[in-house]
A and B are shown apart, each in its own frame.
Chain A
Amino acid sequence: MITAVETAGLSKRFRSGQLAVDSIDLAVPEGSVYGFLGPNGSGKTTTIRLLLGLARPTAGSHRLLGARMPDAAREVLPRVGALVEGPAFHPYLSGLDNLRRLDAADRSVPPATARARIDAALERVGLLAAAGKRYRHYSLGMRQRLALAAALLRPRDLLILDEPTNGLDPQGTREVRALLTEVARGGATVMLSTHLLSEVEQVCTHVGVMHLGRLVAQGGLAELRAGTAPRVEVTSGRPGAARAALADLGLAEITATGDVVTARLGDTAIEEVAPALVAAGVPVRGLRLLAADLEELFVSLTGEGFDVSG
């Protein structure tokens, strides 16, 4: 597997002694949309700062697009678009002038095409009409869009985005998701940190979960879901008989609470359950599939809720 982002034992201990990132081994496959999840304060942003070379790791190493960082920063970072901890621009400059400045800082692009690049990026995030307005007069959503435009100033092979839909209205959120999907379809890898599980379900192919500075889970979304097997829930006036029938069917982890009996489906198809119950003469009042719930999975991994700040 070719990895766009690869870390080996990457760690960061702050001067305060706090271990913000604890020996993580990230593997973001090339071409994936990787959801970087974790509660607030779990070390996501610090990890992103380490990846971009803004901060130095206390231990460990990492590669971006196959090249060793920070040695290859000058060659690799121009191919990486980033949004770190929210937008930040000069308030008294216009959106256009702010992007001009970032473009001017990039040694690897021809100055002659600067305006075309900037206009294309502004157009992509729907900000072209407000390009001449001073940044201080932008709304939070417009600021977020400008930061995305900066990340898209030139074609990128990797986007590292820290909560890209933060502050956007529902329409803007949809647009950004569509944009990310489009960028990914173009062959770029997208790594986005978020605490919105719906976002992960809609756009991500891979997931990494941070908790207290450690990477507690990582893999394909389908693969992770498979880890939490779906269960079947049967409501019956004779729960004892239902239990027995489900056991005969070969289901495991059977639990009963009052009239409700649940069991892990395992390899058994949900379609086989009803006939088996009927064949055993169990009166069935309700039958329902309990799908693997991402939220439950993450809460089980991190022990806390996710959307602290929405």
Chain B
Amino acid sequence: MSAADPGTLPAPRRPDRIRDDPTVPAALPGQGARRGGGSRRAIGRLFRSELWLIFGRRRNWVGLAVLCAVPVLVNIATKISAPAPGQGPPFVAAITGNGLFAALASLGLELPLFLPIAVASISGDAVAGEANLGTLRYLLAVPAGRTRLLAVKFAALVVFAATATLLVAFVGAVLGLALFGGGPLTTLSGTAVPFAEGVGRTLLVCAYVTAMLVALCAIGLFVSTLTEQPIAAAIATMVLTLGSEIADAIPQLSAVHRYLPTHYWLAFGDLLREPIAAGRTGPGLLSALAYTALFTTAAWARFGGRDVTS
């Protein structure tokens, strides 16, 4: 440890410099002169750091690879032996007609279990993981700001949910188109739309699936603020998801079905009708929005006042 030359360090900054006060000349190059400019950039930095934490981790790469295995499997299996029309999981029989359906079939297969597992483990890790490592106390002492930290973490979870969905759809579509070809897409209503619109519809489905998963991110984030055990938070989020799916399958509970977080998840097929049917996807988006609002608020209320003891 050599005695550092104080001249090489940035000049000490007094608190009046710390607030981006426009009357104070920018002390250092790169400092936003406009009020809030530096703060916005700083949010960008923490957000990038958060993304790096998720996407720079090998464990998560393995998880994404597992998600990609399903569309590969679906395509190969369909190539070997295609199910008769109307048989097998939704959309799988249609793959032979248009490879684009492999994306939809893969999403349909992964939405009940694999995608929620991925989202639950990442969102469960969000706060509980940092608490478990002890890094949370250092982030808060910086100070990162509790609301800001939570907002950045939620934003990163949204990016992860979108990435996972798009990745599954992309791998499915590329492989499907390579194996079975593309062309005009026959909608579930029987009419055909041009290939470009078929791609657009697929992206619309991805957006819908992402919205469903974002609601799960919010739930996972809230659970993550309750514990210092990331695995426990992930499992609890998974239990909630599967519990909702089971309750949704019990006819005697039909009165509450539409309030279950997973109830509208598989309604994305309606986006492939001509014209698009909003009878279930509309309420589905509303439900996801409500769950997202409810649980991000709950997470904020819980995290904002919590003693950090780890």
Q: Is A124 an interface residue (CB 8 A)?
A: yes
> Cβ of A76 and Cβ of B15 under 8 Å apart?
yes
Q: A104-B45, A105-B46, A123-B2 are in contact. Are A150 and B305 (CB under 8 A)?
A: no
Q: Which of A23-31, A81-89, A247-255, A272-280 contacts B (4 or more CB under 8 A)?
A: A81-89
Q: Is B250 an interface residue (CB 8 A)?
A: no
> Cβ of B10 and Cβ of A104 under 8 Å apart?
no
Q: What A residues does B49 contact at CB under 8 A? A: 100-101, 104-105
Number of interface residues of A (CB under 8 A): 55
> Cβ of A54 and Cβ of B135 under 8 Å apart?
no
Q: What A residues does B137 contact at CB under 8 A? A: 49, 52, 54, 84-85, 88
Q: Which of A33-41, A108-116, A214-222 contacts B (4 or more CB under 8 A)?
A: A108-116
Q: Which of B34-42, B70-78, B86-94, B270-278 contacts A (4 or more CB under 8 A)?
A: B34-42
Contact of B142 among A49, A92, A102, A116 (CB under 8 A): A102
Q: Which of A54, A90, A112, A150 has the most CB of B within 10 A?
A: A54
Q: Is B3 an interface residue (CB 8 A)?
A: yes
> Cβ of B53 and Cβ of A90 under 8 Å apart?
yes
> Cβ of A124 and Cβ of B1 under 8 Å apart?
yes
CA of A44 to CA of B56, assembled, Å: 37
Q: Is B251 an interface residue (CB 8 A)?
A: no
Q: Is B28 an interface residue (CB 8 A)?
A: yes
Q: Is B204 an interface residue (CB 8 A)?
A: no
CA of A80 to CA of B15, assembled, Å: 11
Contact of B42 among A104, A116, A150, A178 (CB under 8 A): A104
Q: A56-B305, A79-B15, A104-B46 are in contact. Are A88 and B140 (CB under 8 A)?
A: no
> Cβ of A55 and Cβ of B308 under 8 Å apart?
yes
Q: What A residues does B140 contact at CB under 8 A? A: 52-54
Q: Is A75 an interface residue (CB 8 A)?
A: yes
Q: Is B302 an interface residue (CB 8 A)?
A: no
CA of A93 to CA of B57, assembled, Å: 9
> Cβ of A102 and Cβ of B138 under 8 Å apart?
yes
Q: A101-B49, A120-B4 are in contact. Are A110 and B38 (CB under 8 A)?
A: yes
> Cβ of B10 and Cβ of A111 under 8 Å apart?
no
Interface residue ranges, B against A (CB under 8 Å): 1-4, 6, 8-13, 15, 17-19, 28-31, 38-39, 41-43, 45-46, 48-49, 52-53, 56-58, 133-135, 137-145, 148-149, 305, 307-309
